[in-house]
Chain A
Amino acid sequence: MNPILEAPTLITWVGSVNWTVGFLTTVGIFAIVALALNLQWGYTGVFNFGVVAFFMVGAYTSSLLTLEPASEFEDYAFGLEWPIPVGWAAGALAAGVLALLVGLPTLRLRRDFLAIATIGVATILRSVVNSTEGLANRGAGLNGIPRFLDGLADGADYRWVMLGIVLVMLAFSYLVLQAATASPWGRVLRGIRDNEDTAMAAGKHTTVFRMQSFVLGGMMMGLAGAIFAHRQGAISPTGFSDLFGTFLVWTMLIVGGSGNNRGAVLGALAVGFFWFGTPLIQEDLPDFLGTRVFQLRELAIGALIIIFLLLRPGGLLEEQPRVSRFVPKPGRRPAVATAGHEEGGP
């Protein structure tokens, strides 16, 4: 999946530093996606099982807009050589439009219908890319996607620039979401998640709020996908699997603690370390395990989801049951507690 993370030369100092930089860059991108899913699921109870679809739309949109025109050996649309930040913005926008289109027929219905629909969107996007001529070079994928701020460092040193970009974008996403979820708007989202009927009775148009949360989260996923594409330099439909792009992020959020932005970032780091770190110890494992390390880590991802749901539904960092900064901490006022939502709503 990731050329930088597959380097087996961990024993050397340079090798370890390189791996760590690459790892933090990847995990930083995943953390943005986990934050976006936290907005949708953790705060609003919007059940999105197609995270990878929004990620993929962002990646492809930004790549197609910033690439050079297709050569005679390639077959893709656009190739407009737009500036990369414009490509990122367009990627986020396209993912937001996709969220709007998927949300319109499903968000007013049972919550699990959205999950069923979104799981389908990812499948269809992959088959559209794979079988449509003149769209995105089909299964061969897009190559030579330009780097952002390429002039700042050359060769191997660019990895530090990339890490910096990702950390800035992560900090930006985190601050935006912290502000949004602490605002009255964020309070409505939590109200809808915990008891939609009460929120409706309070005069809130719940479907509209859920749509806003879904679209904003989708846009952040698109942005993360765009950053990912320019970091990888090459993307293809097979790289955007449900397991890698959707269920890994769900595990990160459930382990970290849904409803807590710091939890989402911590979960991305912890689960990411497990996911990208296990191939490194492959050679040290006994043969029986070593040859199956990729299936074993999948098995562990599934087990982590179940174990956390059963034993620690709040995740590593549980949500702080605080209504507003003007209300005293719940320790002193037990009546404010909003217990019972740990499962993520009814």
Chain B
Amino acid sequence: MIDIIQLVIIGIIVGSIVGLGAMGLTLSYGVMKFANFAHGDSMALGMFLAFIVVGDLGWAGGNIGRLSFGWGMIPAIALAMAGVAMLNVGADLTIYRRLRSRGAGIIAMAIASLGLGIMVRAVVQMIWGSAPQRYATGINPALTLPGDLKVKPDQFFIVGLTLVVAFGLYLLLYRTQLGKAMRATSDNPELAEIAGIDTQRIRLSTWAISGALTALAGVMLAIQAQLRFNAGFEFLLPLFAATILGGIGNPWGALLGGLIVGVTQEVSTEWIDPGLKPGVPFVLLILILLVRPRGIFGSSV
């Protein structure tokens, strides 16, 4: 029983990272209407942009409390978020907008995003190499909770940050003019345009927010596991599973979908070979497509 609870805890941590990434993916999927296959590689770019500050420049900034990283992580995350947001906005201005104005379908844009993902991955590998890296050396000793459950301080941070970000996203989408316009564009772009919303500006804002969330998810993934140039690409399947599970365009659905994917994946290792873990999000994806292709909470696409 204790084993299962421990696996559920790990699942919640992994699921938070999946959810964080899926919230960014679902925002752009909802507004742009196409599946962004560069999302995983953008996560990898984010984790390495943060590495510039804490690794390449060496501004680790000691340790915050019992976390494995220091105050240097704050400018590092800011750089990662800004960098990936700029990549997304730049891609829209140079690629997606031109395809859109030519009337190209969502599939052409999805293929273009794949090309962009391949390019990003190649650049990351070219600059930082193929060997796995970490933000901080040494171990992050786990805290022992009642019942001999083990959780690292870093992992508390990951789950806490995910909740804070989800709440912030809620405020943005439901308490600001921009959020309202984003939801309107996601529901019906033509109608939004008739209502006087500058949909191109909304698209750019959505790309920027999605990029910031992507980068954050990438940094969290690197804190939980390690930095690898193809870590993001390999994360695509759980991200898409969570996005479709929660209903495309629905951030809360994406977060919940991420938690479902994370917990199922980890708990499954109690019965199946851990090597088969990557298959679990796929099985969930096929199940939801068979039963409820619009996701648990419905989709705006």
Asked whether, in the complex, the Cβ of B279 is within 8 Å of the Cβ of A124, the reply is yes
The chain B residue with its CB closest to the CB of A104 is: B290
The chain B residue with its CB closest to the CB of A243 is: B118
Q: Does any Cβ of B come within 8 Å of A109's Cβ?
A: yes
Chain B residues, CB < 8 A from A303: 115, 119
Q: Does any Cβ of B come within 8 Å of A113's Cβ?
A: yes
With contact pairs A247-B118, A298-B122, A310-B99 given, residues A120 and B112 touching in the complex (Cβ less than 8 Å)? no
Q: Does any Cβ of B come within 8 Å of A313's Cβ?
A: yes
Chain A interface helix/strand/loop/mixed: helix
How would residues 324 to 346 of chain A score, 1 for a CB under 8 Å from any chain B CB and 0 otherwise? 00000000000000001001111
A110 to B249, CA, bound (A): 15
Chain A residues, CB < 8 A from B301: 110
Interface size on B (CB < 8 Å)?
49
Chain B interface helix/strand/loop/mixed: helix
Chain B residues numbered 248-290 whose CB sits less than 8 Å from any CB in chain A: 273-279, 281-282, 285-286, 289-290
A75 to B136, CA, bound (A): 40
A313 to B107, CA, bound (A): 13
Q: Does any Cβ of B come within 8 Å of A9's Cβ?
A: no
Asked whether, in the complex, the Cβ of A128 is within 8 Å of the Cβ of B107, the reply is no
A344 to B98, CA, bound (A): 16
Q: Does any Cβ of A come within 8 Å of B247's Cβ?
A: no
Chain B residues, CB < 8 A from A243: 118
Asked whether, in the complex, the Cβ of A123 is within 8 Å of the Cβ of B237, the reply is yes
A326 to B117, CA, bound (A): 44
Interface size on A (CB < 8 Å)?
47
Asked whether, in the complex, the Cβ of B104 is within 8 Å of the Cβ of A123, the reply is no
Binding site for B on A (CB under 8 A): 45, 47, 49, 105-106, 109-113, 115-117, 119-121, 123-124, 127-128, 130-132, 242-243, 247, 250, 254, 292, 295-296, 298-299, 301-306, 309-310, 313, 340, 343-346
Q: 29 A-B Cβ contacts within 8 A?
A: A47-B110, A105-B290, A106-B286, A110-B293, A119-B37, A119-B237, A120-B240, A120-B281, A123-B234, A127-B276, A127-B279, A128-B276, A131-B275, A242-B233, A250-B111, A254-B111, A299-B119, A302-B115, A302-B122, A306-B95, A309-B108, A309-B111, A310-B98, A310-B112, A343-B102, A343-B103, A343-B107, A344-B111, A346-B107
